[in-house]
Amino acid sequence: MREASKDRLKAFLTLLPSMILMAIFVYGFIGNTIWTSMTDWGGSGSLALNPEKHFVGLDNYVELFTGFLGGGFRQDLVNAVYYSIMLLAGAIGLGMFIAILLDQKPKGEDVLRTIFLYPMSLSFIVSGTIWRWLLAPQGGVNVLPTYLGMEPLNFEWLSSTAAILEFNWQNLFSILLYVASFLLIMTGLFVFRKDGSRAVKRWLGPGIVLGAGTWLFGGLLPEALFMEEMHGFNMATLGIIMATIWQYSGYTMALYLAGFNGISQDLRDAAMLDGASDAGYYRHVAIPMLKPITISAVIILSHISLKMFDLIFAMTGPDNAETGHPALNMYLTTFRANDFAVGAAIAIVLFLVAATFIVPYLIGQYRQRRRG
Amino acid sequence: MKRTTTGSILLYGTLAVLSLFFLMPAYMAAVTALKLPAEISLPSAWELPSVFNWSSFSQAIQLLKPNFINSVILTLCATAGSTVLGSLNGYVFSKWKFPGSEIVFTLFLFGMFIPYQVILIPLFQTLRAMNLYGGLPGLILAHIVYGLPITSLIFRNFYAQIPTALIESARLDGAGFFSIYLRIVFPLSIPGFVVTSLWQFTQIWNEFLWGICLTRHADNPITVGLAQLAGGQAVSWNLPMAGSIMAAVPVLCIYIFLGRYFIRGLLAGSVKE
């Protein structure tokens, strides 16, 4: 038994260096960035080895969300939200669609899979460079219709200044409440069939009350800004979204294809015997069974869309305000403008957004492992 | 054919359209790289070159060669380091669990999902304090450390397939922690090493944020070199396209020739167990 405990000690000591590295490089660094975001570190002398810093509390955050200079950041944040939603919908939808097509076992399936997945192996810088050329005005994608005898498009993929789905940042608080109410109602409708009364009590009821309350009394909420500031979905980001979907739908395709192959043929035959059509089989049997895969895909794609930096850098360069993203803004603020404290605050905002869905996911995985 | 013909026409038609969409950028890059600079114009971007002009490639190779070499050194060192450490960690996480090891593992995984912007400033500061800022060793260190979550995860899942009874009987025969690893686990983990190395190779080769923030000009990896090559306004498009192809070739080769392992790495990276 003494030998065994010696081995246990060896095992622990083997892991120890990695544990220390992770503790410092992940958790220590995150703590350090939080601290930095609460100082005024920036400007001249900020690159000195021991720069002068003063504690300023949450000032940097207040400035980003409500200050005069934070307008660019707010537009970037709105871009990131729209961008994430479009990327999730596009990459998961298209990936799932291709996986269903390939699940019909067409001839040349291997070649097709290779074609759909190769973008995934490329660097964002490589694909960004190529897509920038493809989306050039009066060229690339825009002239494609002429080969079918149609008029060329003249869409300004990366430089359009038009925006849709605009909202006023002043009303930020009521918008957030509407979003919360919408999410509650959607969750309620989702679980309604499983447990009706609980769904009404826990989700639907509070959601409707919150929504109605905001509609009636929203005017009483404080305004986030002293002036009107419109933000919306920038049409210029469409090109970037298209390139990201091109690059990542192969990935979701691979995930779903692996999932479809894991479903036993017996189950499929049984569904067919029960009179399910092909569409019915996917709609009611296969896709619901692959819910864990969908969750993984959502987590990974949101993570990718949040740290999106390289692709935008390569496609529109760092200085195009229309297609900005907080991840790019953070780099520019920190390493071009040497405004380390503000850069850290932007990084923390990104981190908090990421953590809100990654932490529950990891906790769920952990529980599963303990049970399994 | 079992299926109805309209169904299969629809299936193959859709697949053909989708394939064209996915191949479009590759075609564009190849065609543009092979054109003479004077021949490149927006309206005729899709047309084949009248003569194949290979000089774009020699020019791109000349310009990006130092970056390419940096990337090779960086990728090989960081892949080797993170893979070996990940293998040892995975061995402990799956076969030598201790109280709290699952929590430690979950805390490791979190490191995989953070947006790297959140650790960028202290990383930059730390490397500067360690005199590692600006060169390849600092970048290698960063890639090894932040590669640990994914490599430990892949190896942990891989070692879960090795029966614990095998380890137990080796222990009864008197084998210890390291001799079990060297004699039993390591020889069985060659496919695990292939999957993990390919994944890490691709990730590190394609990385850009640390490359641009943590290295000086002389030590820039290929992605940074390409971004600078493509960022200039006066450059004609054949050069960045040739550069893109050059930066893509190593990972594309891996993908085409070892695709099976590449996909396994891809699936292993999705945390599903």
- CATH of residue B201's domain is 1.10.3720.10
- Band of the pLDDT at B63, cuts 50, 70, 90? very high
Q: Are B76 and B121 within one domain?
A: yes
Burial level of B261, CB count in 10 A (0-12/13-18/19+)? buried
| pLDDT at B2 exceeding the cut of 60 | no
Compute the nearest-CA separation of B272 from chain A (Å): 7
Residue with tokens 């090795």: B162
What pLDDT was estimated at residue B108? Answer: 95
- Total structural domains within chain B: 2
Q: What is the DSSP string of A25-66?
A: IIIIHHHHHHHHHTB---STTTTSSS----B-TTHHHHHHHH
**pLDDT of A269 higher than 90:** no
* A77 interaction partners in chain B (CB closer than 8 Å): none
Statement to judge: residues B78 and B37 lie in one domain: no
- Chain A residues with CB under 8 Å of B176 CB are 3, 6-7, 10
Instruction: Dig out the tokens for A33 from the structure.
Output: 């960035």
* Domain of A24, in residue numbers: 1-69+339-372
Q: Same domain for B136 and B27?
A: no
Number of domains in chain A: 1
Mean pLDDT of chain A: 87
Is residue B156 scored above 50 in pLDDT?
Answer: yes
Tokens of B110: 């979190």
Q: Are A152 and A337 in contact (CB under 8 A)?
A: no
Residues from chain B contacting residue A293 (CB–CB below 8 Å): 270, 272
Given this model, what pLDDT does residue B199 score? 93
* Closest to B229 in 3D by CA, of B207, B209, B249, B247: B247
Say whether A224 sits in a helix, a strand or coil.
coil
Average pLDDT over residues B154-183: 91
**pLDDT per position as a tens digit, B65-75:** 999 999 999 99
In this prediction, residues A203-210 reach a mean pLDDT of 87
Q: Do A32 and B12 touch (CB under 8 A)?
A: no
Element (H, E) at A269: helix A265-273
Please give the pLDDT value at position A251.
Answer: 93
- Tell whether ipTM is more than 0.85: yes
Which of A33, A118, A302, A335 best probes binding to B when mutated, by most B CB atoms within 10 angstroms?
A: A118
pLDDT confidence of residue B273:
47
For A276: left if phi > 0, alpha if psi spans -120 to 50, otherwise beta; the answer is beta
* Calpha distance A267→A281 (Å, rounded): 10
If asked whether residues B95 and B45 sit together in one domain, one would say: no
Number of residues that make up chain B: 273
**Domain assignment present for A264:** no
| DSSP assignments along A125-183, one per residue | HHHHHHHHHHT-TTSGGGGGGGGGTSPPP---TTT---EEEEEEGGGHHHHHHHHHHHH
pLDDT at A139: 79
- Each residue of A302-358: pLDDT tens digit? 989 988 889 999 988 777 778 889 999 999 999 988 999 999 999 999 999 999 888
Q: A149 pLDDT exceeds 90?
A: no
For A215-229, A349-363, B175-189, which range has the lowest pLDDT when averaged over its residues? A215-229
User: B20 lies in which domain range?
Assistant: 1-52
**Mean pLDDT score across all residues of chain B:** 91
Mean pLDDT of B240-260: 92
Per-residue pLDDT, averaged over A86-111, amounts to: 94
What is the reported pLDDT for A342? 94
Contact A137 B227 (CB under 8 A): no
Assess contact for A345 and A37: CB atoms under 8 A: yes
| pLDDT category of residue A232 using cuts at 50, 70 and 90 | confident
Write the CB contacts of A345 (distance below 8 Å, at least 6 apart in sequence). A37, A60, A61, A64
Backbone torsions φ then ψ of A231, nearest 5 degrees: -130, 150
How confident is the model over B10-43, as pLDDT tens digits? 999 999 999 999 999 999 999 999 998 888 888 8
For the stretch B110-134, pLDDT in tens is 999 999 999 999 999 999 999 999 9
Helix, strand, coil shares of chain A, percent, nearest 5, are: 75, 5, 25
Q: Are the C-beta atoms of B170 and B162 separated by less than 8 Å?
A: no
Q: How much is the pLDDT for B50?
A: 87
B2 and B100 both lie in a single domain? no
**One domain for residues B131 and B183:** yes
Residue B251 shares a structural domain with residue B129: yes
Clarify whether residues B46 and B135 are in a common domain.
Answer: no
CB-CB neighbours of B242 under 10 Å: 27
Which of A115, A118, A132 has the CB atom closest to B252's CB atom?
A: A118
What's the pLDDT score for residue B1?
Answer: 45
Give yes or no: residues B83 and B128 share one domain.
yes
**What local confidence, expressed as pLDDT, does residue A2 receive?**
53
In angstroms, rounded to a whole number, what is the distance separating the alpha carbons of residues A137 and A242? 16
Distance CA A56, CA B75 (A): 41
Chain A residue at shortest CA distance from B247: A126
Answer whether B75's CB lies under 8 Å from B202's CB: no
Between CA A34 and CA A40, with CA A35 as vertex, the angle to 5 degrees is 115
Could you tell me the two tokens for B218? 């002389």
Range list of β-strands (E), A202-249: 230-234
Q: How many CB atoms lie within 10 A of CB B49?
A: 17
* Substitution target from B27, B67, B75, B113 for chain A, most A beta carbons within 10 A: B113
Low-confidence winner among A289-298, B19-28, B224-233, B263-272 (lowest mean pLDDT):
B263-272
More confidently predicted of B241 and B233: B241
Same domain? B185 vs B250: yes
- pLDDT above 80 for B98: yes
| Residue A372: CA count within 13 A, CB half-sphere | 10
Domain boundary residue, one of B52, B70, B94:
B52
Measured at the CA of B96, the angle between CA B93 and CA B98, to 5 degrees, comes to 85
Measured CA to CA, the distance from residue A187 to residue A184 in angstroms comes to 5
Distance (Å, whole) CA A300 – CA A286: 21
CA dist B43 to A138, B24, B131, Å?
7, 16, 51
Distance CA B129, CA B132 (A): 8
- Residues B157 and B42 reside in one and the same domain: no
Nearest CA-CA partner of A70 in A349, A310, A355: A349
Say which amino acid occupies B162. I
Contacts of A115 in chain B (CB under 8 A): 19, 22-23
Mean pLDDT of A165-169: 80
Q: Which two tokens stand for residue A196?
A: 């009706």
Length of chain A: 372
Cβ contact A299–B271 (<8 Å): yes
Indicate the burial class of A66 (C-beta count within 10 angstroms; 0-12, 13-18, 19 or more): middle
Tell me the mean pLDDT in the region A140-163.
81
- Is A44's pLDDT higher than 80? no
Q: Give one word for A57, left, alpha or beta, with left for phi > 0 and alpha for psi -120 to 50.
A: left
Q: Tell me: do B203 and B89 sit in the same domain.
A: yes
Q: Do A340 and B121 lie within an 8 Å CB cutoff?
A: yes
* Residue A31 lies inside a defined structural domain of this protein: yes
Name which of A349, A301, A309 is nearest A325 in CA terms: A309
Q: Cα–Cα–Cα angle for B259, B260, B263, nearest 5°?
A: 80
Q: Which two tokens stand for residue B153?
A: 């995860």
Determine, for residues A12 and B102 on separate chains, whether the beta-carbon distance falls below 8 Å.
no
